[in-house]
Structure 1
Amino acid sequence: MIRIAVAGAGPYVEAAYAQAAGVAYMPLPAPESESPSDLLGRLNGASAPEVLVLDSREDPELCLSLAARFSAEHPDTVLLMIADDAETLGLRAMRAGVKDLVPADADDHQVEQALGSAVQLAEKLTARHAAAHDQEPTGRVITVVSPKGGAGKTTIATNLAVACAVAVPHSTVIVDLDLQFGDVATALNLTPEHFLPDVLQSAASGDTIALKTRLTLHETGLYVVPAPESPAAGDSITSGQISQLLQLLSREFDYVVVDTSPGISDHTLGALDQTTDPLLLTTLSVPGVSGLRKVVDTLSVLQMFTGNYHVVVNFADTSHGVTRKDVNETLGVAVETSIPVSKAAPASLNVGVPLMQAGTRDPLVKALAPLASSLLPDGVDLDRRGRLRERRRTSR
């Protein structure tokens, strides 16, 4: 059943909506803040309603702010707004995610029509979600995790993603999950029109066509989901939204590469919950290796440490007293890839051309090529310059 919640309605308006909604009607008090959780807390633990009607007559600005937050955090809820002056609020309400404005003096028939249209839209969204859940993900999700900053996560993630995209055309998407300071777009020399919050809205609707139109296409054929445009824009993003996005992307792409912020945030855990291949990155330093051991222990406790893990040591300079053997013994798992210091890597970041794209002879490319090849289909292999050695088949 599609549930219809009406927040803050006066007696006359409430009666009209209660009659039109019937048993699906859920009364809510007037909102007191722009936080959706404050309003939903009145539902005694129930999930967000499929249709939410906000009576904006008492405080239009608060309702607009609440609608914008609600649309971002619960994009699968259809929002309506009751207004005294629909023309004045019209454009601002639509930008906040409101699907329809209903005049405060609407008669019973108009109310029934507005709720009927909202219910039809909510049913379509529900059906899309059900269909999406019936389809099992087939793509590999490779999440790059490091306990410390400065380990080269973005360099590794972008080069690995480019390698997969070049080897298997139209197969790969990279998601920048460093919500505050992500720079995947910069590392790829991109100027995006859409960012992670925009993509999440499309993902919530289950509309894969709309989702793909909001991805940024790199010249190598790699699809990109850039980090939020500003740190504040990522504040309302939840780990559940990230998990849902990765589920959908892994149904559409063979490879989903995820760049994360340092440490293990809730958003990173949301990504790891959908990850098939955790890529655990460290440097040859005591703090880095010690921190990665804590990551391994945490993932093991949470049962997120899959058998397809990859331990990668970047800046593998043993002159500072820490060796690959030390890393193996400390982690209790074997290092798969050691990447020597690359003099060309900083310049490649500055110009936005990953070394795997340039096809140059470089220690980073030589070390990453076998790792990328291990992810690719049988018969698809990269040489030490990151170039395709042989391709017997392409992506699905």
Structure 2
Amino acid sequence: MVTASPSARYSTYHAAMPEGPGTAPVIRVLIADQIAHIVEDLAKLADFSDQVDVCGIARHDDDVIEEARLRRPDVLLVSSAMGGADAATLAAQLADAAPGAKILFVTPPGVEDGVAAPEIGETVAPSTTGAELVAAIRRAHGVDAQEPAVAAEPEEPMQEIIPRRPRRAGRTRGEIFLVYSGKGGVGKSMIATNLAVGLSIDTGARVALVDLDLQYGDAGVMMQVDKHLTSIEDLAQHGEVVDPEVLQEVLATGPASVRVLLAPASPELADLVTTANLRAILRELGKTHDYIVVDAPAHLEERTLEVIEQADQILVVTAFNVTAVKSTRVALKLFQSLGVEMDRIAIVLNQSRQKVTFARGDIEQLLRFRVLVQLPFDTRVDESIDHGQPLVMSEPRSEMSKQFRALVDYLTPDAAETDRAHADDRARVPASRRRFSLGRRQS
């Protein structure tokens, strides 16, 4: 039986539209909504990149007008709840900020009457499908939705692997490595825990692991510290100032002396941890650790975005299945819309099942990203998780462990030259935070 490549299988997600050179340019769209809805819209539009380009996003009321003025989109896809004003007033403000742009309001069922007006134009429901949304965007832009004439675009360049630079001389803040996946079940937490332990073993560095999956985190089980009595919830009351002594008491000590900040014991406690609180925690961890590995949840929310801003490297985990690759493609597009530098992103491909039906090269072509590390299938992974013993320790000679060492080598180009046996009284000051541009990337 012949199995199609992911590119061929992925094409089944596309609506039946003609391909080939045409005359109409790609429509530039700015999305203004809550982050969860932005991610949903990006997923819907991911299959229509030959017709629609998301040129920017706005997550907060205060950003909508400014982003419209900066990005000058063809169509604004705006939640009717944005802007802090009625739809007609917001439409007038947007028209002034981005003359010529068409506005398409996303309106929940039951409130259309308060939004629909001749000066506002068409509205769409949040439940609109990808094909329906693209058709509405094309109508708003004044293009026939039924017979699109799509302009031929040059192929997006492949993002090659860019070697990391050694740590800046005199840098005193620990580096943050974020492990993220747009889809659950691809081995993200396994990768985060093995990476943390591998960093400690291979470099002798001081390593912390933060379980940011605040509702259903598994780092405690995987590191055999799930019986530890304190977690990140115990730091929540400290707000923007975290006592370093209290932080040290809250941290558990896992394999290879990795310090672990556990997720709350119960899902309902997740909301106690604010973005400001997380920022303070990362700041304090950076003073006493060389590397902080953050295991992020599969869904995007404000706390994850905070770590994206601060991260020195973002490891995006994907797998040999169509849905995982599709989610990864959406995540990469979102990072691009946020203005995240592409050299801060690396792809880790995990073979989580024994047989795969397509090749690594197919995934690279679809993502337009080279894979940094491919982790092989290993039946011992589940056993290592059950025993709370990361595979890099229990099976150090395995091919899996070899690939983790390659990942550590990539992340720590200065490990051979840097003395990591720091004195306890070493002076440390927090470095300024990198801020991403929230879609203000210059074209």
Deviation, structure 1 residue 332: 1.6
Task: Note the aligned Cα RMSD (angstroms).
Answer: 2.4
Partner amino acid for 1:187? Answer: M
Q: Does structure 1 residue 205 correspond to structure 2 residue 241?
A: yes
Partner amino acid for 1:188? Answer: M
Deviation, structure 1 residue 143: 0.7
Query: Within 1, Cα distance between the matches of 2:338 and 2:205?
Result: 33
Deviation, structure 1 residue 238: 2.2
**2:400 maps to which of 331, 351, 364:** 364
Q: Does structure 1 residue 342 correspond to structure 2 residue 378?
A: yes
Decide whether the 8 Å contact of 1:195 with 1:229 is kept in 2.
Answer: yes
Deviation, structure 1 residue 267: 2.2
Deviation, structure 1 residue 322: 2.7
1:160 corresponds to: 195
Map Cα deviations across residues 184-240 of structure 1 (whole Å, 9 max, x no partner).
011011121210111344573242222222211124110000000100111232233
Partner amino acid for 2:183? Answer: K
1:309 corresponds to: 345
More relative contact order, 1 or 2 (CA 8 Å, 6+ apart): 2
Decide whether the 8 Å contact of 2:242 with 2:280 is kept in 1.
Answer: no
1:150 corresponds to: 185
2:411 corresponds to: 375
Question: Structure 2: 5+ residue runs without aligned partners?
Answer: 1-169, 423-443
Deviation, structure 1 residue 361: 2.5
Query: Within 1, Cα distance between the matches of 2:342 and 2:243?
Result: 30
Decide whether the 8 Å contact of 2:232 with 2:250 is kept in 1.
Answer: no
Aligned to 2:195, the other structure's residue is in SS state helix
In the superposition, the TM-score normalised over structure 1's length comes to 0.59
Partner amino acid for 1:223? Answer: R
Aligned to 2:186, the other structure's residue is in SS state coil
Deviation, structure 1 residue 321: 2.8
Query: Within 2, Cα distance between the matches of 1:318 and 1:182?
Result: 25
Task: Note the 1:18-97 alignment, pairs <5 A.
Answer: none
Query: Within 2, Cα distance between the matches of 1:231 and 1:210?
Result: 23
User: Structure 1 residues 136 and 320 mapped into 2: Cα distance closer, same or farther (>3 Å)?
Assistant: closer
2:223 corresponds to: 188
2:280 corresponds to: 244
User: Structure 1 residues 306 and 200 mapped into 2: Cα distance closer, same or farther (>3 Å)?
Assistant: farther
User: Structure 1 residues 373 and 198 mapped into 2: Cα distance closer, same or farther (>3 Å)?
Assistant: same
Decide whether the 8 Å contact of 1:338 with 1:367 is kept in 2.
Answer: yes
Query: Within 1, Cα distance between the matches of 2:379 and 2:418?
Result: 34
Decide whether the 8 Å contact of 2:205 with 2:291 is kept in 1.
Answer: no
User: Structure 1 residues 215 and 268 mapped into 2: Cα distance closer, same or farther (>3 Å)?
Assistant: same
Question: Structure 1: 5+ residue runs without aligned partners?
Answer: 1-134, 381-390
Aligned to 2:419, the other structure's residue is in SS state coil
Query: Within 2, Cα distance between the matches of 1:200 and 1:208?
Result: 14
Decide whether the 8 Å contact of 1:286 with 1:322 is kept in 2.
Answer: no
User: Structure 1 residues 392 and 254 mapped into 2: Cα distance closer, same or farther (>3 Å)?
Assistant: closer
Larger Rg: 1
Deviation, structure 1 residue 168: 3.6
Task: Note the 1:268-307 alignment, pairs <5 A.
Answer: 268-307=304-343
User: Structure 1 residues 136 and 204 mapped into 2: Cα distance closer, same or farther (>3 Å)?
Assistant: farther
Decide whether the 8 Å contact of 1:260 with 1:268 is kept in 2.
Answer: yes
In the superposition, the TM-score normalised over structure 2's length comes to 0.53
Map Cα deviations across residues 110-148 of structure 1 (whole Å, 9 max, x no partner).
xxxxxxxxxxxxxxxxxxxxxxxxx98622111111111
Decide whether the 8 Å contact of 1:197 with 1:228 is kept in 2.
Answer: yes
User: Structure 1 residues 184 and 379 mapped into 2: Cα distance closer, same or farther (>3 Å)?
Assistant: closer
Q: Does structure 1 residue 326 correspond to structure 2 residue 362?
A: yes
Deviation, structure 1 residue 312: 0.3
1:8 corresponds to: none
User: Structure 1 residues 318 and 360 mapped into 2: Cα distance closer, same or farther (>3 Å)?
Assistant: closer
Decide whether the 8 Å contact of 1:137 with 1:248 is kept in 2.
Answer: no
| Identity in percent | 27
Q: Name the one with the larger helix percent.
A: 1
